């Protein structure tokens, strides 16, 4: 049997599970809120064109209204000033959208401290247990934050000092982006950076270092608890928006059972 025939047989037989890492898109999908004076994205919404009525008697369809960075989405290098000469989302090579993925689980730490930051030593500890970070692969950073994704306030977890959501320290972000063979970083939170990352040096270090290195981001992932620490294959499918800085994406993982 060919490799692809074996894959199809495994999917049909259940020995390879397809795990959907994508949050449902609706008007209730949480979106990032930047403080004044910064501009903000629109949320997702549907605008009905016709629904089996005199606007279109036999068909139902909608226009969609969305930002590029709404819901589960892909960050392309041009999203950040450090990556401004890099790829827009339509220029990401398709072969880079199929890649190995590993999962680092910090959900217990994030439950105890919503401002928890991953440090290089935490990744080194993970590597001692699970092996090296994958060449050309994704680091999926599990924090348990997907459990909050149905509610904007709980998901953003903001108070008068700003949002409090887990992330990665500036030092660790620089190391991951510049000194490991990863292709990108995936998170469960509204962006790849910690809620407090506006105050880091540099601000928003995951965006700054990963996109500046020509790498990618995936955010608002869910179901990472259903993936093994290593061994999953991730398929990311942002829309090829010409000139786009990112796109809502369907993100699937193939997992051997
Ligand atoms: Mn984004």
In the residue annotation, 73 being an active-site residue is answered as: no
Q: Which CATH number fits domain 15-41+68-256: 3.50.30.50, 3.40.50.720, 3.30.365.10, 2.40.30.10?
A: 3.50.30.50
Mean pLDDT, all residues of the chain: 98
Q: What is the whole-number distance in angstroms between the Cα of residue 124 and the centre of ligand 1?
A: 27
Q: What is the pLDDT of residue 124?
A: 98
Q: What is the whole-number distance in angstroms between the Cα of residue 75 and the centre of ligand 1?
A: 5
Q: What is the whole-number distance in angstroms between the Cα of residue 8 and the centre of ligand 1?
A: 32
Domain ranges for the chain: 15-41+68-256
Query: Where in 114-183 does DSSP place strands (E)?
Result: 117-118, 138-142, 158-159, 162-163, 167-168
Separation between Cα atoms, residue 70 and residue 234, nearest integer Å = 20
Q: What is the whole-number distance in angstroms between the Cα of residue 115 and the centre of ligand 1?
A: 19
Active-site annotation holder among 69, 79, 130, 164 = 79
Identify the residue whose tokens are 């500890």.
Answer: 125
Q: What is the whole-number distance in angstroms between the Cα of residue 191 and the centre of ligand 1?
A: 6
Q: What is the whole-number distance in angstroms between the Cα of residue 42 and the centre of ligand 1?
A: 13
Separation between Cα atoms, residue 117 and residue 139, nearest integer Å = 15
pLDDT in tens, 184-196: 999 999 999 999 9
pTM, two decimals, is 0.97
Separation between Cα atoms, residue 137 and residue 139, nearest integer Å = 7
pLDDT in tens, 94-107: 999 999 999 999 99
Give pLDDT < 50 ranges for the chain.
Answer: none
């Amino acid at each position: 049997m060919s490799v692809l025939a074996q894959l199809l047989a495994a999917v049909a037989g259940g020995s390879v599970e397809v795990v959907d890492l994508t949050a449902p898109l609706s008007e209730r999908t949480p979106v990032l809120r930047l403080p004044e004076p910064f501009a903000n994205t629109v949320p997702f919404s549907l605008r009905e064109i016709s629904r089996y009525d005199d606007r279109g008697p036999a068909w139902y369809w909608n226009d969609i209204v969305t930002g590029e960075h709404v819901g589960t989405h892909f960050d392309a290098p041009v999203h950040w000033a450090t990556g401004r000469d890099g790829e827009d989302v339509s220029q990401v090579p398709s072969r880079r959208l199929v890649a190995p993925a590993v999962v680092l689980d910090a959900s217990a730490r994030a439950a105890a401290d919503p401002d928890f930051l991953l440090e290089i030593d935490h990744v080194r500890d993970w590597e001692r247990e699970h092996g090296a970070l994958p060449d050309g692969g994704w680091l999926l950073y599990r924090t348990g934050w997907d459990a909050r994704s149905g509610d904007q306030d709980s998901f953003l977890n903001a108070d008068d000092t700003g949002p409090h959501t887990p992330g990665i320290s500036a030092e660790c972000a620089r190391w991951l982006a510049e000194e490991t063979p990863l292709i990108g970083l995936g998170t469960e939170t509204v962006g790849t950076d910690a809620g407090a990352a506006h105050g880091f040096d540099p601000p928003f270090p995951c965006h700054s270092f990963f996109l500046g290195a020509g790498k990618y981001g995936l955010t608002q992932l869910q179901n990472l608890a259903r993936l093994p620490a290593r061994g999953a294959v991730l398929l990311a499918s942002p829309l090829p928006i010409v000139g786009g800085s990112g796109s809502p994406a369907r993100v699937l993982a193939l997992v051997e059972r």
